[in-house]
Structure 1
Amino acid sequence: MAAANPDEHGDVNSEASPHALLTFLQSQSQNTLSRLYQKPSSCLSIFRLLGPLDRQLVMNLLWLDSAIPASTMNAWVTREGRKPYEASLGILSRLHILPSSPVKLALNPTFKTSLRQAITGGGTSGSFGVPAGNDDKHTTPSVEKLDAYALERWETILHYMVSSGSGRYPAKPSQGVLLLLQRSGLMTSPHGAALQITSSGFQFLLYSPHTQLWELLLQYLHMAEERQMDLVEVLSFLFMLSTMELGREYSTEHLSGTQTAMLEDLRDYGIIWQRKASSRRFNPTRLATTLTSSAPPLPTTSGSGGTTQSQGFIVLETNYRIYAYTDNPLQIAILNLFITLKSRFPNLVVGAITRESVKKALANGITADQIISYLTTHAHPQMRRNKPLLPVTVQDQIRLWELEKNRVKSQEGYLYTAFASQADYEYVLDYAKKLDVVLWESAARRCFFGSLEGHANIRGFIERRTAGNV
């Protein structure tokens, strides 16, 4: 097993908030984490996901042969650093890397041994994958081919989300991907109809590719036990992939049953490439090798307008007109969710934000703030000279159209009317109020409107009163 540099791929969690996967791992049992820490690649990947202070604490303790008093470490902490230091201790203890209530500080022995092995090398566990031998029949796919494959698979998922319900998408993801989108709340199937994007789904489109990928993978981890998959094996394989070398082929012969079953799912996400389903070798794509890295998981320059998008491509005028300098079908499909397209040129799309287009977006669960956030995120560099960045009149109007939609609220229920007397009306109304199912009442018209859930009880009460039993 080759030695690995702990910061070789860069850290992915330089912000104050912990990585979403760390939050998931903190909810797991000590036994699960102890099994996970037996793999050097898992420990190295988790180390990369930790915050800077967390990593510093681990490295300070990694090469010590015995525990040190907590008071000794406390003496190194300034008054201003006390709060972040205690927060780091809390994260490491919940991950069972450090003891929960330390008198002395020492790393989990299993974690320490594995991380040392990951950094210095040695061992034959195959934790970082087993490279496949030379294949005289086939040539190894180039990095460019792997990038194109990952981009095509990932954009297929995103394109299906934004084109949901319209049938205008270049390809349909697999059933496994569709189930994952539905279970994660990014898409919904109202009354058994075709899947449609939700408000959470549109917010998902605003995230970076790295955050998008982990949001789906976290849902995949939640579903692992339902599918009778070993969670530790699933996590170990994802961590193994994150430490592999882009452009190199690896053997499937040393994978567990769970990990072999994962290959089909990971192909659908564009995380791995295989020549065919029965192949005994696979290539990790950039989506895989950057899982625990700060490097971009997708190529930033591509024939689909990647460079333009990374710099911002939308110009919004005070007359609600939009100029989008892109030829990317995915970005155009996203814009079509909330603007009315007027013209399309080889590298330019012209449209406008209208009352009808915003109402259509609101009906699909997209909020005014999400529309404004998307326009802000993808604003053209020329727009960024403006203060404020987006025209205030346009922002205000989008929010007003949302308020217009929220003015009327519909709810299913039953209208109770035609009471024989005022006493009857008040008697039944009082009973309904005790059940807390009255949505509206009118004493002048002697009627009230009750919720769907309360109808059976109110009807039974009226029948018993009519029969003289109340």
Structure 2
Amino acid sequence: MPSARPYVYADGNVHQRKAHALLPFLQSQSQNTLTKLYSKPSSCLSIFRLLDPISRQLIMNLLWLESAIPASTMQAWVTREGKPVYTEALATLTKLHIFPNSAIKLAVVPTFKTSFRQAITGGGTSGSFGVPSEKDDKRSDVDIEFLDVFALERWETILHYMVSSGSGQNPTKPSVRVLFLLQRSGLMTTVGQGPLQITSAGFQFLLHSPHEQLWELLLQYLHLTEERQMDLVDVLGFLFMLSTMELGREYSTERLSKTQTAMLEDLVDYGLIWRRKPSSKGFHPTRLATTLTSSSPPLPSSIGNRSGPQEGFIVLETNYRIYAYTDNPLQTAILNLFVSLKYRFPNLVVGAITRDSVKKALLNGISADQIISYLMSHAHPQMRKNVRLRSCNPLLPVTVQDQIRLWELEKNRLKSQEGYLYTSFASQADYDFVLNYAKELGVVLWENPVKRCFFGSLDGHANIRGFIERRTGAG
């Protein structure tokens, strides 16, 4: 996952902001690829949204200048405390080829400048932001609520299949294309000839926010473009186009490239778009698509009488008891990964964090910090209110946080390793002779001279056994 990076507000205070997961991928692309991508205004606008505030401010300061300015002029505006953040922002923009690689002059490269100007002023007729379909009364049944239900069902089908794998349940299977992507991304794997099983990375994936989950899968999708002989610029351009479209409006497929047309069915599987049928000349982007590069939630919290993913629904007490105000089965299943559930009511789940429940989560590859982070990000508004009223109070009880970490340390303190115990030596001389030979091989894991025994690794057993047999035979 991307690391946290600092940025500075106008008040001069340094804050932390997590860099978007797509930026390192874009920085790894060639200048030619990025230049082609920047020819589309929708791509420039979307990338601008993904940047940190300092990088965005630098672009806006230079966007309307017709010539480059000395780097020293810009640097004179930066405080001493803000220089590391400013330097990092310049490095990011240079790696993205939005700024030229020059330590003397600063400017926005012409392709990005032209397209981004067009994006924010509304000029041009390139169809970069999609081509709306003509109005048709037959499509009036497709409204925002319908699209939200579709997106939620498709996305939760994927997550339900992951969390239920290996539990004996028979969840609805996603499409073959989705299962292939889950396997290639390392979130699920097969054991022998058996069905797909969730991996340690998959358990960690379930604790991430829907936005992070979506981009984790899309990044793997981008890595497969060359293998599938798809144009990377077209794939990225289409994702960026979707992120700028209007929710609830139908768009035409007529101007899509061959690669983008092939993407339609894939994106239907993930719930990013809805189509009446594969041969339809139009499609509707769902909320999952239109929020790809924004800070808005990709899934609604409720749709009619149905509950979607809740942002703040967990109350954690100092006695390790948890009250989860949700009737969403997926969130209940995720809680069950590290919570011992006791009771279930129509809109409430009650459980407790126990040593055994945390130990089970740790064995599945979920870390203590991930458990704590999930509880914090989904803390009930009342818990946040208590923090605001009493600024010294932490969001989660410190005793619970410390105990979860102690249980993790307890697991890490013990390490099992297969091997052989060598004992019952006839004399101290025999013991020392064999032990020294094993030490020369570097296979001794533990020794006890008082009891004349030692423990050797599995790999060294054949050599030690042969050495003992030769010594016994020679004696």
- Relative distance call for 1:438 and 1:76 in structure 2 (3 A) is same
Paired position in structure 1 for 2:363: 363
Partner of 1:323, secondary structure, is strand
| SS in structure 1 at match of 2:224 | helix
Q: Which residue of 2 aligns with 1:69?
A: 70
Q: What displacement does 1:256 show?
A: 2.2
Q: Deviations over 1:144-181 (max 9, x none)?
A: 11111111112222222322311436422223323333
395 and 106 in structure 1: CA distance in 2 versus 1, 3 angstrom threshold: closer
Task: Tell me the distance in 1 between the aligned counterparts of 2:264 and 2:39.
Answer: 22
Alignment of 1:395-434 (within 5 A): 395-414=401-420, 429-430=435-436, 432-434=438-440
Instruction: Tell me: CA distance 1:433–1:75, structure 2 relative to 1, closer, same or farther (3 Å).
Output: same
Q: Is the 8 A contact 2:48 2:56 kept in 1?
A: yes
CA distance in 2, matches of 1:102, 1:414: 62
Give the whole-Å Cα distance in 2 for the aligned partners of 1:343 and 1:452.
Answer: 46
Q: What letter is aligned with 1:328?
A: N
TM-score (norm 1): 0.83
SS where residue 323 of structure 2 aligns? Answer: strand
Where do 5+ consecutive residues of structure 1 fail to align? 1-13
Change (3 A) 1:442 1:183: farther
Is the contact between residue 341 and residue 351 of structure 1 (CA under 8 Å) also seen in structure 2?
yes
Give the distance between the partners of 2:444 and 2:192, measured in 1 at CA. Answer: 26
Q: 1:381: how far off?
A: 3.5
Residue type of the partner of 1:329? P
Name whichever of 108-117 and 424-433 sits farther off: 424-433
Task: Note if 1:305 corresponds to 2:303.
Answer: no
Distance of aligned partners of 1:275 and 1:414 in 2 relative to their CA distance in 1, 3 Å threshold: farther
- 1:39 maps to what in 2? 40
Q: In the alignment, is the contact (CA less than 8 A) between 1:203 and 1:370 conserved in 2?
A: yes
Deviation larger for 125-134 or 267-276: 125-134
Give the corresponding residue for 1:9: none
Are 1:180 and 2:181 matched, yes or no? yes
CA contact (8 A) 2:164 2:171 kept: no
Residue 315 of structure 1 aligns with which residue?
315
Counterpart-to-counterpart distance in 1, 2:82 and 2:339: 48
Contact 2:359 2:407 in 1 (8 A): yes
Pairing 1:171–2:172 present: yes
CA distances 1:385-415 after superposition (whole Å, capped 9, x unpaired): 3745445554455445444444532223455
Q: Does 1:329 align with 2:329?
A: yes
Rounded to whole Å, the distance in 1 between the matches of 2:397 and 2:72 is: 56
Task: Please tell me the residue identity of whatever aligns with 1:347.
Answer: N
| Partner residue in 1 for 2:127 | 126
1:112: how far off?
A: 1.8
Give 1:8's aligned residue: none
Per-residue deviation, 1:349:
1.9
Change (3 A) 1:246 1:381: closer
The reply on whether 1:85 has 2:86 as its aligned counterpart is: yes
Q: Which amino acid in the other structure matches residue 375 of structure 1?
A: L
Describe the shift of the 1:324–1:117 C-alpha distance in structure 2 as closer, same or farther (beyond 3 A). Answer: closer
Over residues 434-466 of structure 1, what are the superposed CA-to-partner deviations in whole Å (9 max), with x where a residue is unaligned? 554433344556654444555677678889999
Q: Deviations over 1:36-76 (max 9, x none)?
A: 11222111211121222212222222222222232333334
Asked which structure has the greater RCO (Cα within 8 Å, sep 6+), the reply is 1
| 2:313 alignment partner AA | F
> Could you tell me whether the CA contact under 8 Å between 1:438 and 1:449 is conserved in 2?
yes
Mapped partners of 1:207, 1:40: distance in 2 = 31
| TM-superposed deviation, 1:346 | 1.3
Cross-structure match for 1:440: 446
Q: Is the 8 A contact 2:299 2:308 kept in 1?
A: no
Cα 1:16–1:459 shift into 2, 3 Å: same
User: In terms of mean alpha carbon deviation, does 37-46 or 173-182 score higher?
Assistant: 173-182
**Structure 1 residue aligned with 2:345:** 345
The 3-state SS of whatever aligns with 1:91 is helix
Kindly indicate whether the alpha-carbon contact (under 8 Å) linking 1:321 and 1:350 is maintained by their aligned counterparts in 2: yes
Counterpart amino acid of 1:410? S
| Aligned-partner residue type, residue 27 of structure 2 | Q
Deviates more, 1:163-172 or 1:440-449: 440-449
CA–CA separation in structure 1 for the residues paired with 2:109 and 2:125: 22
d(CA) in 1 for partners of 2:468, 2:180? 45
Q: In the aligned structure 2, how far is the partner of 1:123 from the partner of 1:40?
A: 9
Question: Tell me, what secondary structure is at the counterpart of 2:344?
Answer: strand
Corresponding residue number in structure 1 for 2:208: 207
User: 1:140–1:248: 8 Å Cα contact kept in structure 2?
Assistant: no
* Structure 1 counterpart SS, 2:301: coil
Confirm or deny: 8 A CA contact 1:414 1:450 kept in the other structure: yes
Counterpart for residue 102 of structure 2 = 101
Identical aligned residues as a percent: 76
CA–CA separation in structure 2 for the residues paired with 1:389 and 1:114 = 44
What corresponds to 1:380 in structure 2?
A: 380
Is the Cα–Cα contact under 8 Å of residues 15 and 51 in structure 1 kept in the other structure?
no
- Structure 1 residue 345 displacement after superposition: 1.7
Query: 1:294 maps to what in 2?
Result: 295
Q: Pick closer, same or farther for the CA change 1:403–1:15 going to 2, 3 Å.
A: closer
Paired with 1:47 and 1:81, the residues of 2 have a C-alpha distance of 21
Could you report, residue by residue, the CA deviation over 1:280-333 in whole angstroms, capped at 9, with x for unpaired residues?
3211111111111122211133344348x32x3233344443332211111111
Quick check: 1:69–1:103 contact (8 Å CA) kept in 2?
Answer: yes
Instruction: Please give the alpha-carbon distance, in whole angstroms, between the structure 2 residues aligned to 1:80 and 1:391.
Output: 33
Q: Please list, as runs of the form range in 1=range in 2, the aligned pairs for 1:130-141 lying within 5 A after superposition.
A: 130-135=131-136, 138-139=139-140, 141=142
- The number of equivalent residue pairs is 453
**Structure 2 unaligned blocks of 5 or more:** 1-14, 388-392
**d(CA) in 2 for partners of 1:192 and 1:26?**
39
Supply the RMSD in Å over aligned alpha carbons. Answer: 3.3
Aligned match of 2:28: 27
Contact residue 301 and residue 307 of structure 2 kept, 8 A: no
* Letter of the structure 1 residue corresponding to residue 415 of structure 2: K
